[in-house]
Structure 1
Amino acid sequence: MWTTVGEITNYGDSVNVQVEDIDNSDWVLELEDIEKDTAKIIQHLNKNERKINGTRHKFQKGQILYSKLRTYLNKVLVAPNDGFCTTEIMAFGSYGILSNNYICYVLRSLYFLDYTLQCGYGVKMPRLSTTDACNGLIPLPPLAEQERIVNEIQRLFSIIDIVENGKDGLQTAIQQAKNKILDHAIHGKLVPQDPNDEPASELLKRINPKAEIITDNGHYQKLPVGWTICRLKDISKIVTGSTPSKSNCGYYGGIFPFFKPADLDAGRHVYKAAEYLSEDGKRASRVVPKGTTAICCIGTIGKVGYLMYEGATNQQINCAIPSKVVDSVFLFYLCASPLFNDKLNSESSAVTSNYSAPLWA
């Protein structure tokens, strides 16, 4: 059945206590101690640990603590212990045999939140009046169902907490999985080999007759049949970026993308640049085509991105423009692989174009 907060609780009957009457060892709860939305206690300080004056509300363990200030922050909880709180928090209990946890969850629900936002007063620091709070409608199920609802909410919230706490680990696992896939790809373990394919050594001769053919070495054990090792410069044109003079304002503010290392955070698909050049700025730059692999060579060495549009880069980026017989996306994945990245960092003082990579045809 429907009821109201005022019919089932003593909301508004707060016990006021002067700060000088609170013992130094008593818990004093302030609004900043409560996390928004989750209503978790993020710090627990006693009176002697904070500078306070004036009046506080006294509360007991198990009572509902409701922040009437800026209700959209959803700072509503059941008190885990006795203590004293700011007068912006209303401490109250329920009449009869009711679940305070259930009432707490109703007060935190979007339904009740919408109600408080409609009747709150004040612009910068909106508050809920005692009258409006007591008139707030609450759907009240039987006690046993209240308890089942609370148990199910707590079960689901615990799952959400596990997911939330595991976000960093999940991101690490995702990155490790990506690295493993790339590692398998450049070692010929990702897809079946076709013995009828033209050997990569023959392909390399057609790409660059002067290229050094390396069938295997100590860094690349168990190279698949038909594969070879070559230099990045043998299968692509390397272009080092440059920055048009900043003293010439006419070079900037156009529509031609000027990519920088931070833009490569997009990864495989780099559509946008933080800065754009004019036509004059474009002519003063080293233009690279769509499908170029951009490789950061200063700062975060090895960060790569696949340019989805023609553009230019600054001097912190070397661009690999693929040969016509090398798939541009395959080249990107080669340069994004852990093997290439490790090689890049181990020889960071060398020229990017000299780094070697496995080539598959």
Structure 2
Amino acid sequence: MDTKALRQKILDLAIRGKLVPQDPSDEPASVLLERIREQKKQMVKEGKLKAKDIKNDTIIFVGEDNLHYEKFQDGSVKCIEDEIPFELPEGWAWCRLNSIVDVRDGTHDTPTYVDKGIPLITSKNLVEGGIDYSNVKYISEKDAISINDRSGVNIGDILFAMIGTIGNPSMVTEDILISIKNVALFKFTFSKNLSNHFVMYFLDYAQEDMKNKPSGGLQPFVSLNFLRTYLVPVPPVEEQQRIVSILADSINKIRNIDVLKNELTASVKKAKSKILDLAIRGKLVPQDPNDEPASVLLERIRVEKEELIKQGKIKRDKKESIIFRGDDNSYYEKIGDDIENIDTEIPFNLPDNWIWCRGCSCFSGMETTKPQGEFFDYIDIDSIDNRLHCIKKTKRIPVIEAPSRASRAINSGSVLFSLVRPYLENIALIEEIHSHSIASTGFYVCNSNGLLLPDYMFYLMISKYVVDGLNQYMKGDNSPSISRNDIENWLYPIPPIDEQRRICYILKTTFATIEKLEESLI
């Protein structure tokens, strides 16, 4: 069930006046809006508002020709029919947001942060329906007072992210002193009859439209004027309350469904991880003593490689290692003429006929290539579906516009493993359909030297043992990454080839069933 689409559909029905029936005895919204205008004029007389605060107020009405017009403070009138997004029921009215709420914003500079003080709420702290204080920064009371002179926040006010992740309307529910930065503030100063919950639901509905109309480049934003002049449909006061009641109940039920979905999704992910863990430890399928030991296959690969070295076709890899068990049952590693005990590195025991192997001894290495012709298919980090671990879509790019990172050669059966933010698990097995593509240098390309079947190599690389193990080597703050050496120096558990086939068959059939369950949850 697509709960996001369901939520948006319910909000759409509510905002268009189709969620609850209209009651002809309700006071029309036009009367409410007129009362708000009179109240604002009175507040100007009393010095509670400045004349400039209402100079942009307008009146939107339907003319005798059944078209929508907007009347401005100077008396001029303009037809705005092309701005009206949909028709409203009888008793409803259109207005600009600044006609019914005081729309303000906080600071756009960077105050001095302190260890303890007043929470500074930014767009990052706004989450669905609330405020997340877990990673909040603090500013001094002095800085907070200067901000709050224009943006004091009270219970019932609504906060709305203006920069970056636009939207996430959140109502203030605590009597706590906070300051805001890059956040719009909707204050309900003009009428107690206007439902702030209805306005929040409207902003929840409208944020998808607002996200499609942002200004800015790298960091999109919506301006204060954009928000102030945004069209809002206003129902009669009584209907607002009926809408809010139905919406609150419906959205609460949708949230409960989401919680259940998240719990099931987490359980499914945990189950897949457990099955993979059993597979790479030799506990998923029974061992067959008739299988050729992995050590025999590895020795045959070494002999073939040695012959190629003698023929001058390849160079000797100085990192090539041989891992074996000694007479004392300890693990040793031979690199060149050096032999070292590596018992402390061995993470778990393996069945007979399995071996431990460094990446440099089971991967054949990476090759570079250059785009040819007029266009080429490019696989970047964001080309990977990191839930299903597959290629979502390659990027068709003119060769003359090829990015400098487009130089990793791939083949059918290669496994891409992201070096950048490996914890995101951008890992994929290359199928024949994408084998002609070129990958980014942001990937390590795992190519088997014959010791690993492509499918087993893929399952091995997406296992928690490999992903979490390599994550410990991440360096950097903005774009933490690992190196090719980290992958090539890591220890991998290798079963006999025939057992790899049996493992992959069980994993494929089991995961196919699990993925059908996952699809039903999305």
Match 2:394 to one of 273, 292, 295: 273
Matches of 1:286 and 1:50, distance apart in 2: 49
Aligned to 1:59: 193
Q: 1:277 to 1:287 in 2, by over 3 A?
A: farther
Deviation at 1:188?
Answer: 1.4
Deviation at 1:66?
Answer: 8.7
Match 2:236 to one of 84, 88, 91: 91
Deviation at 1:239?
Answer: 0.3
Q: Is the 8 A contact 1:207 1:235 kept in 2?
A: no
> What amino acid does structure 2 have at the position aligned with 1:42?
S
Give CA deviations for 1:198-228 in whole Å, capped at 9, x if unaligned: 2222232233347624355442322122211
Matches of 2:397 and 2:232, distance apart in 1: 53
Matches of 2:283 and 2:392, distance apart in 1: 31
> What amino acid does structure 1 have at the position aligned with 2:171?
Q
Gaps of 5+ in 1: 75-85, 95-99, 109-152, 245-249
Matches of 1:92 and 1:181, distance apart in 2: 56
SS in 2 for 1:5: coil
Q: 1:314 to 1:58 in 2, by over 3 A?
A: closer
Pairing 1:262–2:382 present: yes
Aligned to 2:427: 304
> What amino acid does structure 2 have at the position aligned with 1:185?
A
Q: 1:41 to 1:177 in 2, by over 3 A?
A: same
SS in 2 for 1:208: helix
Matches of 2:462 and 2:236, distance apart in 1: 57
Matches of 1:65 and 1:51, distance apart in 2: 13
Aligned to 2:359: 232
After TM superposition, the score normalised by the length of structure 1 is 0.57
Deviation at 1:295?
Answer: 2.1
Matches of 2:197 and 2:27, distance apart in 1: 10
Deviation at 1:185?
Answer: 1.6
Matches within 5 A, 1:34-45: 42-43=170-171
Gaps of 5+ in 2: 1-19, 49-98, 104-157, 161-167, 176-183, 208-230, 307-320, 326-330, 332-342, 474-481, 497-522
Pairing 1:360–2:486 present: no
Matches of 1:171 and 1:89, distance apart in 2: 39
Aligned to 2:448: 322
Deviates more, 1:195-204 or 1:330-339: 195-204
Aligned to 2:31: 14
Give CA deviations for 1:112-149 in whole Å, capped at 9, x if unaligned: xxxxxxxxxxxxxxxxxxxxxxxxxxxxxxxxxxxxxx
Matches of 1:12 and 1:259, distance apart in 2: 54
Q: Is the 8 A contact 1:293 1:319 kept in 2?
A: yes
Q: 1:180 to 1:29 in 2, by over 3 A?
A: farther
After TM superposition, the score normalised by the length of structure 2 is 0.42
> What amino acid does structure 2 have at the position aligned with 1:307?
I
Q: Is the 8 A contact 2:294 2:451 kept in 1?
A: no
Deviation at 1:298?
Answer: 4.7
Q: 1:198 to 1:220 in 2, by over 3 A?
A: farther
Q: Is the 8 A contact 2:28 2:236 kept in 1?
A: yes
Aligned sequence identity (%) = 20
Matches of 1:200 and 1:161, distance apart in 2: 51
Pairing 1:212–2:348 present: no
> What amino acid does structure 1 have at the position aligned with 2:444?
N
Q: Is the 8 A contact 2:390 2:427 kept in 1?
A: no
Q: How many residues align?
A: 275
Matches of 1:312 and 1:87, distance apart in 2: 49
Aligned to 2:297: 203
Q: 1:338 to 1:175 in 2, by over 3 A?
A: same
Q: Is the 8 A contact 2:367 2:409 kept in 1?
A: no
